[in-house]
Each structure stands twice: as structure tokens, then as C-alpha cells.
Amino acid sequence: MRENIKKIFTVVLIFLTMGILHAEVTIGASVDMEIIPFQLIFNQGANEKRLFGAPEQEELIFGAGAGRYGSGQSIRSRLDARYSHEDIFGLRTRIQARPDGVAIEDYLQAWWNITPWLRMDAGRFFDDRLRGKVNDLDERMNANTVRMYDGDAIFSRFRTHRHGGQAGLMISSTPIDNLFIGALLYDLKPFTASSSSVTDSAMYDAHPDYVTDNADAWQRIQAAAAYTIPNLGLVRMQYLGVKPMVEIKRVSDEVLSDSNQILYSYMFDTFVITAPRIEAAFALTEIPGLLIDIGGKYPLPFKDWNRSPSNIFEKEDEDLLDAVYKNYKSGIVWQAPIQASIGFKFSPVSFEILEIAGRVDGRFGGSMKGHIDEMFFAPEINAHLWPSIDLSFARLILNFGFEYIGAAYNKNGDIIGMGTTAALDGGYRLGTGISLQRNLLGNSFVKIGIAYKFEGTVNNVKEKAVLTIPLYLEYSL
């Protein structure tokens, strides 16, 4: 394997050396970091009973590491290198360095314009030409806030490494004006082991049935078509294939009295459903000062699915999980929640320094139905509004967020867990914030603000109020 990698590297190096005199080479670098001077968690008091799901008891957290999107990135630097030969073929790679290591990030890509209307991409990359155009994560300014969705909630981007795979192969075409067609095989796994360590290799040798291959790659296809309607906007549709799967987590807890007596205990199952789906979206783009993007996702129901170990080196509670899996696999039809989203941006033509933007995302209609068991998953609504104005020295941004979680019901119309502390009776989250963004040279900027998430209750769990003062810096060369 190592010899093959060396040969490939040598060929690529020779290829670049021969073509560099007639090619375009671009190298960019950036540094971004999220520093949170502190997060203040408002505790209920030391004498109150412990509640399931409550945050740790620290009242003040000081330091960095929340990440711009709550990703835990702390500080990171990127090196982005691109090579193209007369817009016929090219390469791109992005290397990321963080305190926890150095690695290839989102791009290790080769592309080839076979004809003026046909292109092939291979490797690890994103393609955002059809992605949702209103991304409220752009304005997220604290790591413990009301949940937000990115542009994929309106219409999913082409992404080669969606569920942990390493690479993908994409063909895209523009056969006539205004029409785009694309297809991607994603999560391709060119290597049989997750690492080259002796321990991992020995485990794979001992369990050849765990070796990953591309025998089921046909299930992981993303195919989309889009058409730009003149003087109106962009309409797009796609099918996103995936191997049907249900991740089952058994949740349990007990509440103790001051004398450590068990007051009550409970246990219930939670589900994360992965299913192939159909997506459709329309972006209204031709009205001056206004952008509206609306999209919907319909996951296809399924019945037959196989559980496979997500990590063969960490099999915790395997017997219990197998029993739960067998119980919920038998004769049950799974329907993942349907999703609908709408986003907008409005800037008056006569007053362009003002922009009002917002998003509403809803999830509903999820269920599991069998001969005996039935469960209707809770609906969810997330609404965010972020008006902003460009001042002479910076951009001022306000942010308001509200999240509603409904109740989950059984086939008799009763709330799951009704009458217990595990009742899935829903609740809400509410947050607000204000920030200032100062643009620097090029695409660089610094952003500072203050955000507050109010105390709330979700599924009978009291969530604490959190005050955050974030500072974000991005510097690009």
C-alpha cells in the first residue's frame, strides 16, 4: 500500500512539474478561532433534586474551544492549494492544522472538464451550486444556544464524505442553457482499515467481515437536476440515497432524595432514523433586494434494515443493544420525519445598508408502526430572525431564536411516558444575541457579541439559562 501511494505521489509531482509553466496555481491560507471569554451557567441551587440531562454543575466556564458553530475547533489554520491547466483539469487540497493534529480537511480533489458541458470530479470535496442559499449558521454567535440549521436543511449540497466515508465520484453536466444535472457516489472507502496501526490491522485480519468495501455503493447515490427559470429563479430536485438504518439509544436515569433514596427511575428508547429521501426546492432570485429559498425533504419509509457495528473496537453493552435491535426490527415500518424549510433575505433597494433575514425549519410526520408498538415522533419548529445594519465602523447584527418541540404519542394518543419524569411532552428554547462584525483586509473579519439562552423545559427536563460572550476571528491571505 505504501509503495503504491509513493508511486501515485511521484506521478502527480511529475505531472505538476511538466504542466506548471502552462497552468494556474493558487495558494491561500487562513486562520480562524473562537475565543469564549466565559460562559455563565445559571444553576438552580445545590439543594434542588438532580434532573436528568442537566448540564454539569460548574457555574462559570472560562476559556476557548467552542468553535464558530459549536464544533470544538478552538484555533485552526488552513492551507488551500489549487492547480488548474487551462480550465481543462486541476487539483485542489486543503490541509488543516489544529491543536489536536494536522490532517486533510474537506478537499483532496481532482477534476476534469471532459467537454465544455461535461465534468468529472473525484476525491474529497463539496459542491455547493445547488445548496440552500440562506444559512442561519452564518450568524450563530454562541455555542450553547437555540438549535439552528445550515443551508443543507433547504437543499442538500453534494458532499463526498457525508457519513464518514473518505471519497466520492461525481459527474455533472449542463447539456442546454439553464439546465444542470449531477450525480455523485459518496462515502466511497478506498482503504480497508481505518488506520495503519498494528492493533487495528490485527483486528481487521481477525474479523474479515468488518472490512469495509464498496459493494453497496449503489445505495449511496445522490442525483439532482436544476433549472434556472429566466426572470424568476432556480428550481431543483434530487434523490439522496443511503443505506436505511435506525440508531437506537436506551436512555435511563434515577432521581435521588437528600438521603440517597431512589425517588423514581425510568428508561426509554430514542431513535435516529437514516433513510433515502427525495428533496425539492425553489429559490426566488429575480426580485431586486429579495431572496426567498424554500425546500422540502421526504424520507422514504422502510422496514428491512441491518445493524452493523459503527466501531468494531468499542462494543459497549453489545448484548443489550442486540436485544433492543431485534425487538425494534421485527415487523416495524420506519418513517423518518418530513422536513420543510424557508429562508429569506430582504434589503430595501433605497436603503441597502439594512438587511432583514430569517429562517423557519419544521420537522413532522415521523413514526414507527408495527403490529403491537406504535410511536409518533414529536414535531419540531425552529424560527430565527437576524436583522443587521452596516454602520460606518462595523456591521451590527441582532439575533432572535425560538425552538418548539412537540409531544411524542403512542397509538392510543397518549404522550409517551405520561405520568413519569420521562414523559416526552416537549417544550421550548428561546435565545437572543447581539454582535458587531468588523471587516478587515480581503475576506478577513473579527466579530464580538453577547448571547443569552433563557431557562426552559424540554421533555420534563429543566434546562439552565446560559450567558455567553463570544469573540471570533478569521484572517485570510
pLDDT in tens, 331-366: 899 999 999 999 999 999 999 999 999 999 999 999
What pLDDT is recorded for position 74?
62
DSSP 3-state of 29: strand
Which pLDDT belongs to residue 177?
94
Q: Domain holding 110: CATH number?
A: 2.40.160
Q: How many CB atoms sit inside 10 A of residue 188's CB?
A: 21
Number of domain units in the chain:
1
Residue 302 pLDDT class (50, 70, 90 cuts) = very high
Average pLDDT over residues 216-227: 91
Residue 136 lies in domain: 2-195+213-476
Q: What is the pLDDT of residue 137?
A: 67
pLDDT of residue 142: 54
Whole-angstrom distance, CA of residue 340 vs CA of residue 362: 5
3-state secondary structure of 279: strand
User: Which of 251-255, 313-317, 349-353 is the least confident region?
Assistant: 313-317
Question: Does 207 reside within a domain?
Answer: no
Residue 208 domain-assigned (yes or no): no
Q: Which residue would you say has higher pLDDT here, 317 or 475?
A: 475
Q: Determine the straight-line distance between the first and last CA of the chain, rounded to whole angstroms.
A: 36
The pLDDT tens digits of the residues spanning 96-107 come to: 887 778 888 889
> Are the C-beta atoms of residues 55 and 65 closer than 8 Å to each other?
no
The fraction of the chain above a pLDDT of 70, given in percent, is 72
pLDDT of 236 above 90: yes
* pLDDT at 50 (0 to 100): 42
401: amino acid identity, one letter:
G
pLDDT at 441 over 50: yes
Has residue 395 got a pLDDT over 80?
yes
Of the ranges 63-72, 208-217, 235-244, the best mean pLDDT one:
235-244
- What is each CA distance from 476 to 28, 73, 358, 435, in whole angstroms? 7, 17, 28, 21
Residue 288 pLDDT:
95
pLDDT 10s digits, 74-96: 677 888 999 998 889 999 999 98
Q: How confident is the model at residue 65 (pLDDT cuts 50, 70, 90)?
A: very low
Query: What is the pTM (predicted TM-score) of this model?
Result: 0.83
Q: What percent of the chain has pLDDT over 90?
A: 40
Query: Is the predicted pLDDT of residue 391 greater than 80, yes or no?
Result: yes
Any domain includes 402: yes
Residue 202 is assigned to a structural domain of this protein: no
- Ranges of beta strands (E only) in 43-174 are 60-64, 75-85, 89-98, 101-115, 118-124, 126-127, 158-159, 167-173
Of residues 151 and 103, the one with the higher pLDDT is 151
